[in-house]
Amino acid sequence: MTQNDQASFAVGKMHEPEVERFVSALDRQGQMDVVQALREWVRDRLELTVGGTVVDVGCGTGEELLQLANIIGQSGRAIGFDANDPMLETARTRTAAVSNVEIEKAEASDLPCATGSVDALVSERVLQHLQYDPAVAVGEFARAVRAGGRVGLTDTDWSSLQVLVTDDPAATAELDEVRARIPLPFTSNQEAGKHLAQYCTTAGLAVLERQSFILAEFAPAMIQGVRAGLSAAAEQVLEQHELAAANKLLDDALGRNALRIAVRLHAVIAQR
């Protein structure tokens, strides 16, 4: 099934300074302890061997692809797919010195892989952004992987988002009540992480293991961005006095560096 007119991200529409900021944000996220732990957890369970073929769907900057390429060795193939030209350019630049890495443009629902040609496939925080049912993409992942091959998926459940005021439990409770009323504005598939196992089962994959972590190491700029997104969404559902009160709580907490956000990441390992 082809969905090339519905790219996973809107990066291709960004101007160069915006792309640079986006790449910098991905780099910061890649250094987060929780993200590194989940990546390692997935890698350890893919059963990769020297000479194998591994695919990273939505490879972004190519950071994780380099880790996978190192495991399979020079005789293997590490293939990164992304739907956005700026990400492809970044990944190609960063992996140029590694001979067993290939970077190609592709949408998650239409991979240029022969059926059953891949030993293992990973996709991290991609399904939440698709403009179509993530189950379609996971079905394509299952098609590409050989019998006995493994799929490792990681994604966010934005419905688990918590807004925390570290020095004021009452403010946290008040903001939590407000957040529960606001439709989250962040991604197309807000609860993708929560449904990873279901997507795999629907695609005919056997779920072997599951894991989840709370991601709370957000930089101040990310906290500000989430706050701005929540505030914009809140304008659609809150009365003016409620909106003003919530914004005052957020502004006060930001002013004393007491505002934090936390969200749950889920990962699954499944087998064809």
pLDDT digits (tens, 9 = 90+) for 205-221: 999 999 999 988 787 87
* Confidence tier at 42 by pLDDT (50, 70, 90): very high
Q: Looking at the predicted structure, is the pLDDT value of residue 222 above 80?
A: no
Which pTM does this prediction carry?
A: 0.87
pLDDT digits (tens, 9 = 90+) for 175-206: 888 888 887 777 889 999 999 999 999 999 99
d(CA 180, CA 28): 28
Catalogue the E-assigned strands of the chain.
53-57, 77-82, 101-105, 118-124, 145-165, 206-215, 259-271
pLDDT digits (tens, 9 = 90+) for 223-256: 888 888 888 888 888 899 998 998 899 989 988 9
Distance (Å) of CA 43 to CA 87, 197, 267 = 22, 18, 11
